[in-house]
Amino acid sequence: MWGGRFASGPAEIMEEINASIGFDKRLAPQDIRGSLAHVAMLGKAGILPAEDVAKIEAGLKAVQGEIEAGSFEFRRELEDIHMSVESRLREIVGPSAGRLHTARSRNDQVATDMKLWVRDTLDALDGQAADLQLAMAELALKHAGTVMPGFTHLQSAQPVTFGHHLLAYVEMLNRDRGRFRDARARLNECPLGAAALAGTSFPIDRHATASSLGFDRPTANSLDSVADRDFALEALSAAAIAAVHLSRFAEEIVVWTSAQFGFVKLSDRFTTGSSIMPQKRNPDAAELVRAKSGRIIGALSGLLIVMKGLPLAYSKDMQEDKEGTFDALQTLSLCLAAMAGMVRDLEPVPDVLKVAAGSGYATATDLADWLVRELGLPFRDAHHVTGRLVGEASSRGIGLEALPLAVMQAEEPRITDAVFAVLGVENSVKSRTSYGGTAPDNVRAQAEGWLKRLAGQTA
């Protein structure tokens, strides 16, 4: 494989540690796309004769057909996808295959392949995230007025609506999609033609190659072209943040489906049983989404550590970019699909949610606001009055709405029975009409707006 410089082959363990074909074979479609673009450019630039270009193009398409059909033999001794394709090409078209590598190196070739794969994958992830947003927005519209407890510190805070809660994740996913698109935009420069590290003396047309592969432009510095893995790091960073968002919602599903909460139900399609406890219905899909965030975050950390000490330009260390990136982005794809399925399967239990929304003195802030709005108390004074009334209700084992008016007036004589209108959870959420608030009309408008925005964007 290495011609005259080496007199013997590698040791078996060297071959084992050096070979990447076991995982980079998934780059075959991108590798062949890049090679077809490269050879077409070599022909147009007059670097290769038309006869050789035609042979190579036909041979590459034949190799592509074998790979797609599953009949292609991937051999470890050929190290990677690039040499595997070139070797088979030589078997098909003969010595002309050797001309394909004119004016390029495996260094710029693999960088191009990886960029193409990451770009394709980011596009797919964006569509999947949009589909999850759609599922959430549809459920949010249906439950725009379904009252539930809002939490801080996982303690009852103020009533919100189930639809409002879901739309919080729609917003998170939209930021995730923005990061996917930003990463895609920055990676969309073509390394092909940078060769090993210094460029090439052949009169190639890198702009033509970049254009034919759908890149915005060629990369501007040959050293950076082959040494850069920022595009993978940025994609992994966006993926890690998205995975954290999915994990947070998965955690809520796990809590909400427990017997102690009973806020929502999942069907048999997204739960499993126990081998010993016949009553169990375990939210395993949510638990696995929660757990798989660790793999995605780990891939980002791993590649950062690989890259942190590498001098320019290419080092074999960079071969370690692939397995983690492949696994992380495909894991995120699986998690997005599972979460979209769970959201469409999710069945809130409104009666339970409503009772929980009123527990823990969740309308105390509404009482304080009423004292400010109706009686003109400074908020800090209203806060103190409300706190004392909450303490009184707690000592009696009743809710605020059950406190006798006379007890309230003992703390603040100007309180009237009009106060009871704000102590119900429905009135509480209806009053939160500020932009972005949980008022059902707000939630309906937001959900409808998202449904319009998402039309035609899903995978």
What are 179-193's pLDDT values in tens digits?
999 999 999 999 999
- Side chain identity, residue 282: N
Catalytic residue list contains 267: no
Res 15 pLDDT > 80: no
Strands 264-265 and 347-348: antiparallel
The pLDDT of residue 278: 65
* Residue among 246, 6, 233 nearest 135 (CA): 246
What letter does residue 436 receive in the DSSP assignment? Answer: T
Q: Active site residue: 8, 71, 153, 434, which one?
A: 153
pLDDT given for residue 421 in this prediction: 86
- Of the CA atoms within 13 Å of residue 263, those in its CB half-sphere come to 18
Separation of alpha carbons 413 and 422, rounded Å? 18
Non-local (6+) Cβ contacts of 330 within 8 A are 121
* DSSP for residue 219: -
In the DSSP assignment, the letter for residue 265 is E
Spatial separation of the C-alpha atoms in residues 55 and 2, rounded to whole Å: 24
> What are the DSSP calls for 389-419, one per residue?
HHHHHHHHT--GGGS-HHHHHHH-TT--GGG
Q: Which is more confidently placed, 384 or 18? A: 384
| pLDDT of amino acid 300 | 98
Bridge partner list, 347: 265
Cα–Cα distance, 148 to 350 (Å, whole number): 8
Measured distance CA(237)–CA(251) in Å, rounded: 21
DSSP 282: B
Rounded to whole angstroms, the Cα distance separating 375 from 412 reads 10
Residue 274 among the catalytic residues: yes
Catalytic, out of 258, 274, 301, 315? 274
Indicate the residue type of 443: V
Q: Give mean pLDDT, residues 67-79.
A: 91
Question: Taking the complete model, does pTM exceed 0.75, yes or no?
Answer: yes
